[in-house]
Amino acid sequence: MSCLVRIATKKDMTGVLNLIKELALFEKEPNAVEITIDDLIKDGFGSFSKFTCFVAEKSNKIVGIALVYMRYSTWKGEVLHLEDLIVSKSMRGAGLGTALLDKVVKYGYDLGVKRISWEVLNWNNNAIAFYEKKGANIMKDWSVVQLNDQAIKTYLENKKQNESI
């Protein structure tokens, strides 16, 4: 089975969005994906790219993606973040995850970053075992915190109310 891992083009974004939706379903959040193909094209291929995407292609079909961007560590300076590493369910176990991660690690190394980070669900034992085998550190003492769009609005409304008391 021959598979090509390469940098994504605008034309790939339909296939990329399909995989993003497949992952959201696996993560039990099927309705969380608000992004569109047009957003991905605008944000990834405009005058300033907000992400870099690698794709794994087989028989003209996108069967895996790795999407990365830069973050800023106040300890290490610019670091690389892997937002999504997705391999289509039907293509698991064929080494595509490794091939995509290889690309990401080489990309980060070439940029000279001192860290590559990502996030994993605690119950995704297959992913955790895969990442640990690759030498990554699963930092179970750190939790992700989020304020979503509704919570942002509520926060500011509460602030206004407190100020008017």
Binders of a second copy in range 106-165 (CB under 8 A): 106, 108-109, 113-123, 128, 131, 134-149, 151-156, 158-159
Residue 34 found at the interface with a second copy (CB under 8 A): yes
User: DSSP 3-state assignment of 87?
Assistant: strand
Could you say which of 72, 107, 109, 131 is catalytic? 131
Provide the token pair at 75. Answer: 């300890």
32 binding a second copy? (CB under 8 A) = yes
Residue with tokens 């919570």: 151
The secondary structure element, H or E, covering residue 110 is helix 96-111
The DSSP symbol for 90 reads: G
Stated as kind and residue range, the H or E segment containing 57 is strand 52-58
Q: Which of the residues are catalytic?
A: 131
* Interacting residues with a second copy (CB under 8 A): 20, 24, 29, 32-35, 39, 43, 50-51, 67, 69-78, 81, 83-84, 102, 105-106, 108-109, 113-123, 128, 131, 134-149, 151-156, 158-159
